Amino acid sequence: MNLPPPETLRQAIEGRRNWTLNTLSELVRYPTLLGQEENGQRYLAGIFDQLGYATYIEPIVLERIKNHPGFSPVDWKLEGKQNVVAIHAPGTDTGPSLAFNGHIDVVSPEPVKLWSSDPFDPRLAEENDGTWLYGRGAGDMKGGTLSYLWALAALQDLGLEPASKVICQSPVEEECTGNGALALLERGYTADACVIPEPFGETILTHQVGVVWFQVRVLGHTQHVLGAGRGVNAIEKSWPFIQALRALEEELNQPDKIPFAYRDTEHPINLNVGVIHGGDWASTVAGECVTRFRLGLFPGEKCADLMRTIEERVAAVAAKDPWLRENPPQVEYMGFQAQGATFDVSSAFGRSLQQAHTHWRG
């Protein structure tokens, strides 16, 4: 593909500005939370159709991916969820293929009362550094999807097309498992290189930590508050596990544990205590408490090793408590079991990205 002068391309991009903002706004209106992705996916499939791409809606088939090393276990319904793929096939294929991967799912906007506007009613605002679109998913990462579509549409408007195959991937479950992307790869939607336009600014991300999700289930002994002394409060028994896992987090961030690539990153491994479900009545001693966590790991480390360490720390806490020794807590896994990754910027693709950015942005 012979590109036009930079000014011509910039004009074509500017000509698609309103289309991009309107399309992004409409996509943000779809509350594509976990389990609610379908309508947003179908809207995006329609946009791919408008651009003339061969578009496919690909249901996830659990049997095809559940035994894959990259699969993450779930405690919700996965079967039948829909990925969307669109393919541009050039008249004459003259180069390596390229995939763009942008997930459709968003995380919960709760508590909504802290928002200054409805998170699924996007609004535009003129700020000192340009025009901003506010809404859940506008940045992470529906804006990324529309960014690459903006560029591809501008090329179309100039009568141009990429000289090689382009695969546009819109997976589900990036925010919790990665199973959507795994299902696409298992179905054969692969390319020689992939761009994931997450909102990290004009940078090439060279290292990405892995993630493990898990929960600690603690049982207590229920009593009415008048007999609280005879009960065992599962919520109170859960607190030492949070403390022990915080201590593990600090160990993982000690200088001798941090790889060279993360030497300038402050506290690269983070534990998050994300969800607590405990008890069911203010005047009843809580009989069960489930605490959900997220913990990172460096590229090159194995999820199985981190999971074993987590279980050892939980067991060590339980061993010090008479009740927990007799009623051991359960460590359960659902969601991410994703290892970290690295990208070599000196690779052919890395050099191409840098050269293109320098040419067009300076």
Q: Does the active-site annotation cover 326?
A: no
Q: What is the 3-class SS of 307-355, one letter each residue? A: HHHHHHHHHHHHHCCHHHHHCCCEEECCCCEECCEECCCCCHHHHHHHH
Cβ contact 248:310 at 8 Å: yes
Cβ contact 40:32 at 8 Å: yes
Q: Is the dihedral of CA 335, 308, 278, 223 positive or negative?
A: positive
Cβ contact 57:45 at 8 Å: yes
Cβ contact 179:71 at 8 Å: yes
- Look up residue 349 and give its two tokens: 């693709």
- Residue tagged active-site, from 37, 58, 174, 301: 174
Q: Does the active-site annotation cover 174?
A: yes
- Angstrom distance (rounded) from CA 106 to CA 140: 7
- Residue tagged active-site, from 105, 173, 175, 301: 105
Q: Which residues are catalytic?
A: 105, 174
